[in-house]
Structure 1
Amino acid sequence: MKVLLIDDHPLILSALKSVIQGLGENVTVAGVSSANAARAALVLDADFDLVLLDLQLGDADGFDLLAELRAAYPALPVVVVSGSDRTSDVIRAIDLGAMGFVPKRTHNDMLFEALRLVMSGGVYVPPMTLGVEGAAAADPPAEQETVPGYMNMIGTQATQGDFQAVPTLATLGLTPRQTDVLALLLQGKPNKLIARELEVSVETIKDHVAAVLRALGVNSRTQAVLAVSQMTQQGGRVASRASADDCS
């Protein structure tokens, strides 16, 4: 597995290299410290399996670079590794096509879990953001970021909201074709590409997407990603019939 790290902080870049190399003997890690260097690295060699992207770069906005990478290399999964864990940042990153969002203060085991989930076709988001709908969710005060009481408050808010009240994947009642659509939706593919891959019309895909959102109890693709991420971390799995390994 070849991994590209993009982070403008030398110490963090070095530490991330060491951590990622701990994933196994067959892991190759390249590190760059700027958006321009990342672009150049991908032009020279686009055969990377994973990109880890910091949002705070000296020569570019991390969100802009994320959108650029997803457009230029749609098959290349990008995981945001950020000093932020604000709900609004997580939502925005997932909405732009990130396959995961890992706060830098996350311990190594959780980082490994996140990367393995992404490489198996899943989407990872940090547990504290799960079930919190949209950017309207309040960010934690600085003095409370690691206080368990705040986590309990987030959990209570999520449980009381409609978005959190989502059944397990096994009980969603999706048809086989809707399951295929959901798996491709989780990969960030637009309706046109999903329609082409499944060989049906775009209007049919729109109907399937609407049905999937209703089954999940959410109103947008981003909320669907977060809801399914929660289920996946609780032991659920979404797999298309055609390619379970790629769309789980």
Structure 2
Amino acid sequence: MPRILIVDDHPLFRLALAQAVRNVVDAAEVVEADGFEAAMAQLRAQPDTDLVLLDLHMPGSHGLMGLVTLRSAFPAVAVVMVSAHDDPNVVHRALTYGAAGFVPKRTGLDDLQGVLRAILDGELPAPPPAATTADDLQDRALAARLATLSPQQLRVLVLVAEGLLNKQIADRLGIQERTVKAHLTAIFERLGVRNRTQASLLLGALSISDPARFPLPDDTSITAG
């Protein structure tokens, strides 16, 4: 029985997506989380989750950084991004940073069914084409560097970008301040930056502007059926 975690901060859309998943995946166990930290807690409790449907724009996820963090901590779990922001460049970037697929919130039931079944059957989408632009090259280089960080180092990096001081980070993560400093030394070296400001700017490259909130799907969307 596949276990699918839906992560979206909009309760009505979360409900609509859960209903759609139950319609298209036989005997699926559907679990919901209303934020990124809640999703991580769910995955720590159930690391054998098969698939995460992750909203791109959500408090705590920092755009594509949420995807990177989740994939680092739970590499065996497939992550499909779900977003109203379905610009081809955004889709391309999500795949570059490790998404197993991308589902626009406008997706109809038949297409959603195809994506879910393919992912659960282990049929991953074709990788993004070879980098042809400076932005592509930058994304691939950053993705490779972020992949060298441990899950805990990624958490430290996110908190640095949020402006927390070392002591605050230590308190948040329940570790010693000297451990935070050791993590930062490793982070700076692996990312090729010299200080917190440069690290924060680098992380900012993963942010994606949130479009206007997408209205709840109508009967031609994933709520159909």
What TM-score range do you get, normalising by the shorter chain? Answer: 0.5 to 0.7
Residue 5 of structure 2 is aligned to residue 9 of structure 1 = no
Which residue in 2 is equivalent to 1:69? 70
Structure 1, unmatched stretches of 5+, are 138-189, 191-248
Which residue in 2 is equivalent to 1:159? none
Structure 2, unmatched stretches of 5+, are 137-146, 148-225
Question: Structure 1 5/133 Cα, relative in aligned 2: closer, same or farther at 3 Å?
Answer: farther
CA distance in 2, matches of 1:72, 1:78: 12
| Cα distance, 1:69 vs structure 2 | 1.1
**What is the CA deviation profile of residues 174-199 of structure 1, one whole-angstrom value per residue up to 9, with x for unaligned ones?**
xxxxxxxxxxxxxxxx9xxxxxxxxx
Which residue in 1 is equivalent to 2:124? 123
Question: Structure 1 135/22 Cα, relative in aligned 2: closer, same or farther at 3 Å?
Answer: farther
Q: Which amino acid aligns with 2:6?
A: L
| Cα distance, 1:72 vs structure 2 | 1.1
Which residue in 1 is equivalent to 2:34? 33
Question: Structure 1 78/103 Cα, relative in aligned 2: closer, same or farther at 3 Å?
Answer: same
Q: Does the CA contact (< 8 Å) of 1:88 and 1:136 recur in 2?
A: no
TM-score, length-normalised on structure 2? 0.54
TM-score, length-normalised on structure 1? 0.50
Q: Which amino acid aligns with 2:47?
A: A
Q: Mapping of 1:56-95 within 5 angstroms?
A: 56-95=57-96
**What is the CA deviation profile of residues 78-113 of structure 1, one whole-angstrom value per residue up to 9, with x for unaligned ones?**
001111111221111101110101111010100110
Q: Which runs of 4+ in 1 moved over 3 A?
A: 129-137
**What is the CA deviation profile of residues 26-60 of structure 1, one whole-angstrom value per residue up to 9, with x for unaligned ones?**
10100111011001111111121100011010232
Q: Does the CA contact (< 8 Å) of 1:88 and 1:134 recur in 2?
A: no
Q: Does the CA contact (< 8 Å) of 1:51 and 1:76 recur in 2?
A: yes
What secondary structure sits across from 2:56 in the alignment? Answer: coil
CA distance in 2, matches of 1:61, 1:48: 22
Which residue in 1 is equivalent to 2:106? 105
What secondary structure sits across from 1:46 in the alignment? Answer: coil
Q: Which amino acid aligns with 2:91?
A: V
Question: Structure 1 75/22 Cα, relative in aligned 2: closer, same or farther at 3 Å?
Answer: same
CA distance in 1, matches of 2:32, 2:101: 19
Which residue in 2 is equivalent to 1:197? none
- How many residue pairs are counted as aligned between the two chains? 135
CA distance in 1, matches of 2:111, 2:26: 20
The structure, 1 or 2, with the larger RCO (C-alpha pairs under 8 Å, 6+ apart) is 2
Which residue in 1 is equivalent to 2:46? 45
| Cα distance, 1:130 vs structure 2 | 9.3
Question: Structure 1 110/121 Cα, relative in aligned 2: closer, same or farther at 3 Å?
Answer: same
Q: Mapping of 1:228-243 within 5 angstroms?
A: none
CA RMSD of aligned residues (A): 2.6
Q: Which amino acid aligns with 2:48?
A: D
**What is the CA deviation profile of residues 178-224 of structure 1, one whole-angstrom value per residue up to 9, with x for unaligned ones?**
xxxxxxxxxxxx9xxxxxxxxxxxxxxxxxxxxxxxxxxxxxxxxxx
